[in-house]
Amino acid sequence: MSKTYARIIGTGSYLPEKVMTNHELEQIVDTTDAWIQERTGIRERRIAAEGQTTADLAEQAARIALKEAGVAPEEVDLLILGTTTPDIVFPSTACLLQHRLGCGDCAAFDVNAACSGFIYGLSIANQYIQAGTAKTVLVIGAETLSRMLDWNDRSTCVLFGDGAGAVVLRADQTPGILSTHIHANGAYADLLGADVGVSRGFKENEKNAGLRVHMRGNEVFKVAVRTLGRIVDETLKANDMTQSQIDWLIPHQANLRIIQATAKKLSMPMERVIVTVDKHGNTSAASVPLALDEAVRGGSVKPGEHLLLEAFGGGFTWGSALVRY
């Protein structure tokens, strides 16, 4: 019996209209364009308009992906949304999105794995398709992280942006997703996160109830570089492949220095690495599908090429997917 694979048959992305440059941030917080670019590689990021939600961004990306795939919404068997910034506590933003798109009564749920949310969603979708319980799956990563930033904290507010990316997967006998690998380690929770919530409670008399990203950047950087190096090895070993067989690295767009370190691990020239962090900043769960869509639309990625997708996020969580496009 031949193996069933999940193949990417359509991609899409959406960015809010408002562009915030480093020069604009210089007017808000004690920083400079030169400092931000040197430390992160970021030049600008997109900021959601007032009243524009995660579901709004996700809907636009999803519609584009469905159109590119030639798939009607009612054909979707499963909808997975990676996000840490849902519209409301419940129903899930995936359920809200499912209704907007007209996907019928297929299963729909959010995955909160911070910046690894899309990779986690891709891994789940792959399992469903391989098991034969879904044929067509819509996976989205979408965030409005600007809503949980302290604009007086120069260590975090310069890093993040808003956006959404999506892919449509379909069951196929031709190899598509070759393997996925997801991990987590809650021991590092204090290094990156937001320490308020429904059960723990919110902070009274603070704007947005004290919902703010906190990060110990130097420690996060060190762990991220080590961890992503290990998952590169794990992915290659699982597929009996060498570094030279990877055509494109499509990494989480958090920091250019982390991206460069991962490329060095693969002995891959930066010309074979998709970089969008300069234009988008860190869009968390949206960053990998955004970068993938840009690579596909720009004509960089060609059919038959091997793509290594990877991400690392608060939790800590991390994951990878090896894809034959």
- Parse the chain into domains and list their residue ranges: 5-174, 179-324
Of the chain, the percentage scoring pLDDT greater than 90 comes to: 90
Q: Do domains 5-174 and 179-324 have the same CATH topology?
A: yes
Residue 38 has pLDDT above 80, yes or no: yes
For residue 212, pLDDT beyond 90: no
Confidence class for position 12, pLDDT limits 50, 70, 90: very high
Average pLDDT on 61-73 reads: 98
The catalytic residues are: 115, 252, 282
pLDDT at 75 over 70: yes
Per-residue pLDDT, averaged over 218-230, amounts to 93
Give me the sign of the Cα torsion angle 151, 152, 153, 158: positive
pTM: 0.97
Q: Which pLDDT belongs to residue 73?
A: 98
- Is the pLDDT at 1 greater than 70? The verdict is no
pLDDT (average), residues 285-304 = 97
For the segment(s) 179-324, the CATH number from 3.30.9.10, 3.40.50.970, 2.30.30.40, 3.40.47.10 is 3.40.47.10
pLDDT at 234: 97
What is the Cα gyration radius of the chain? 19
Q: How confident is the model at residue 211 (pLDDT cuts 50, 70, 90)?
A: confident
Domain 5-174 has CATH 3.40.47.10: yes
24 pLDDT more than 90 = yes
